[in-house]
Chain A
């Protein structure tokens, strides 16, 4: 079965550094998402992306965050200047369309900001 691939599985960074989290969505999917989950808490929506632009974003997704689909297969989340509170599991997800019944999630990137 096709799957969403995320790299790296773990990322450790110093506060203030930039990080890029990478995702390869399923090839025929059109909608892409980033979610995050702080340890022990709920899964929070960050941003959705369609047709090479952001279709929706949450209040969490402030100016330090950006997303990009640089080459037609990768989908990246950049955090410009990391803070301690950015430490979380970051999940990429994709779906065929907006009304498809499910999102396919990647296995996540655990980001630790020291």
Chain B
């Protein structure tokens, strides 16, 4: 069974600092994908970054990078040089390619950026 764990319900970070949001996952599949989505207070779900289980390089998208440690089954999101607009809920998610078509989400981390 799929399982995504985000252990940080909330975080406060000073503007311009880097922040790491933790995510661990559990799967018996060899082939899977990991995702991060941002949900601002307006409610929409915004895709940030994706990492495939066979990707050797850590994914990066602008200020976002995914610290993928396959042996530890972790997929932490790193946001460099945080901005006030980064304040939002962040969800880690996973899709197992061998069987399920669905993406399963973690419980989320609420990130608040202090000016």
> What B residues does A58 contact at CB under 8 A?
102
B68: CB under 8 A from chain A? no
* Binding site secondary structure of chain A: strand
How many residues of A sit at the interface, in one of the four size bands?
A: 20 to 34
> What A residues does B45 contact at CB under 8 A?
43, 91, 93, 105, 108
B115: CB under 8 A from chain A? no
A63: CB under 8 A from chain B? no
B11: CB under 8 A from chain A? no
B43 and A50 contacting across the interface, CB-CB below 8 Å: no
Stretch at the interface among B13-21, B78-86, B105-113: B105-113
B33 and A45 contacting across the interface, CB-CB below 8 Å: no
B101 and A31 contacting across the interface, CB-CB below 8 Å: yes
> What A residues does B97 contact at CB under 8 A?
98-99
> What A residues does B37 contact at CB under 8 A?
105
How many angstroms between the C-alpha atoms of A89 and B89 in the bound complex?
A: 15
How many angstroms between the C-alpha atoms of A107 and B43 in the bound complex?
A: 7
B105 and A101 contacting across the interface, CB-CB below 8 Å: no
A43 and B105 contacting across the interface, CB-CB below 8 Å: yes
| Residues of A that sit less than 8 Å from B by CB | 31, 33, 35, 41-45, 48, 50, 55-56, 58, 89, 91, 93, 98-99, 101-105, 107-108, 110
Contacts A33-B101, A42-B107, A101-B35 supplied; 12 other A-B pairs, CB < 8 Å: A31-B101, A43-B45, A43-B105, A43-B108, A45-B102, A89-B43, A102-B47, A105-B37, A107-B43, A108-B43, A108-B44, A108-B45
Residue pairs across A and B with Cβ atoms less than 8 A apart, 30 shown, are A31-B101, A33-B102, A33-B103, A35-B105, A42-B105, A42-B108, A43-B105, A43-B108, A44-B105, A45-B102, A55-B101, A56-B101, A56-B102, A89-B43, A93-B45, A99-B97, A101-B33, A101-B35, A101-B50, A101-B52, A102-B50, A103-B103, A104-B47, A105-B44, A105-B45, A105-B46, A107-B43, A108-B43, A108-B44, A110-B43
